[in-house]
Amino acid sequence: MAENEIQTSFIDVPALSHFPIQNLPYGVFIHPKTDERRCCTAIGEYVLDLRMLEEADLFSGVRLKGTHIFSFTSLNAFMALGRSAWTEARERLTELLSKDNPVLRDDEFLREYAFHKQSDVEMVMPVRIGDYTDFYSSEQHAFNVGSMFRDPDNALLPNWKHLPVGYHGRASSVVISGTELRRPKGQTKPQDSDLPVFGPCKLLDFELEAGFLTGPGNALGDPIPVKDAEEQIFGMVLVNDWSARDIQKWEYVPLGPFLAKNWATSISPWIVTLDALEPFRCKGPAQDPEPLPYLRTKGERTFDITLDVLLKTEQMEDPHRVCRSNFKHLYWNMSQQLAHHTITGCNVQPGDLYASGTISGPTEDSYGSMLELAWKGTRPLKLPNGEERKFLEDGDTVIMTGYADSDDGYLVGFGEVKGVILPAGVG
């Protein structure tokens, strides 16, 4: 390949596809003929069955005690192998999918059975998530929320610029993109009432987030140093951490969110590796005051990833973009989040999920939640068909997408995370 030639695949990849050969994210799909769950990667409009490649002996070295890594129904075993194995597997996939490599390109039998159109398969949860942590790492979001509920001069609490604020969430209710979600019920306290009432959430919201999944993990009692944290990060997903604002307002003192957040968190089906995101590294916001030594990072420790939120009501034919933000706006980076999480010796495991918290940018159209976009309901969003929204209504569909845009004309994308709100259940 010439020095400045952009690598391409023998698989035709449409312009502006999220899945060129430079990406090769990991996921799990249901085989259309056998109903088995299979580990896969994405290339253009296709999924590629990694178990088929492994059974054809096209991988070398990516094994765990003689067991075929991609024969499992989730990616956890592969994630446990660590960065050298992840990089090796990705390099081998890149080699096999390259336009000038005949091994897979000219094997008609293997191509027929290993490739499936994405439109013909169902993507499922790619990992077994053991634990889930949600951070609160966007300064603009924290400032906006603090300004609404306190005042702009005291928007950030005293600890916010000294540590990545977070809480432990509920792993069992993390769901894959496309899952329909019922409006949650709970206690709320109307302003004109002395007592709480029970019923459906009235202030339902989305939260634009990104998350990372860990690999090998650490032993109990052994913190992960901030300089080594990326060795533990397998890859990233999009996250919609749905929020019941009125339930949270009543319940969160003194221990923070509970029922307001435990009913659903949606993630995208594709895990984009840090190797794929490497060309899009950038610096994050300046941190002042300087963090304590265990949280200090140098150089470019975040990524330039465009994040969009689209909203479609039942009366709309096409979704409308209501937010465009960027992952690089986060004040606390992933390495700092993981180092802080484990500084007590907390042990993390393959498949654990860590979400960023709402990612809001500096402009009003880059705010990552309805709470901010409609400013606590005082400035309703006006949609193209004339409808307005203060918060989400039944039948609304929220779609989040994310991609990094290369100067060489390709995207490294995440696909989408999508969810529709159904009415609250009976009872």
Catalytic residues: 141
What are the residues facing 412 on neighbouring strands? 404
User: H or E segment at 337?
Assistant: helix 334-342
φ and ψ of 38, to 5 deg: -125, 135
Sign of CA dihedral 374, 380, 382, 388: positive
Q: Is 338 exposed, middle or buried (0-12, 13-18, 19+ CB in 10 A)?
A: buried
What's the Rg (C-alpha) of the chain?
A: 22
Ranges assigned E (strand) in 304-373:
306-312, 320-326, 353-355
Separation CA 77–CA 71 (nearest Å): 10
Please tell me whether residue 99 adopts helix, strand or coil conformation: coil
Question: Burial code of 48-63, b = ≥16 C-beta within 10 A, e = fewer?
Answer: bbbbbbbeeebbeebe
Q: How far apart are CA 258 and CA 181, in angstroms?
A: 17
Distance from C-alpha of 292 to C-alpha of 225, rounded to nearest angstrom:
13
The strand pairing partners of 417, in sequence order, are: 400
| C-alpha triplet 178, 184, 185: angle, nearest 5° | 165
Name every residue whose Cβ is closer than 8 Å to that of residue 377 and which is 6 or more positions away in sequence. Answer: 203, 390, 391
User: For residue 276, which of 114, 144, 2, 86 has the smallest C-alpha distance?
Assistant: 86
Q: Is 32 helix (H, G, I), strand (E, B) or coil?
A: coil
Q: Which two tokens stand for residue 62?
A: 């990516």
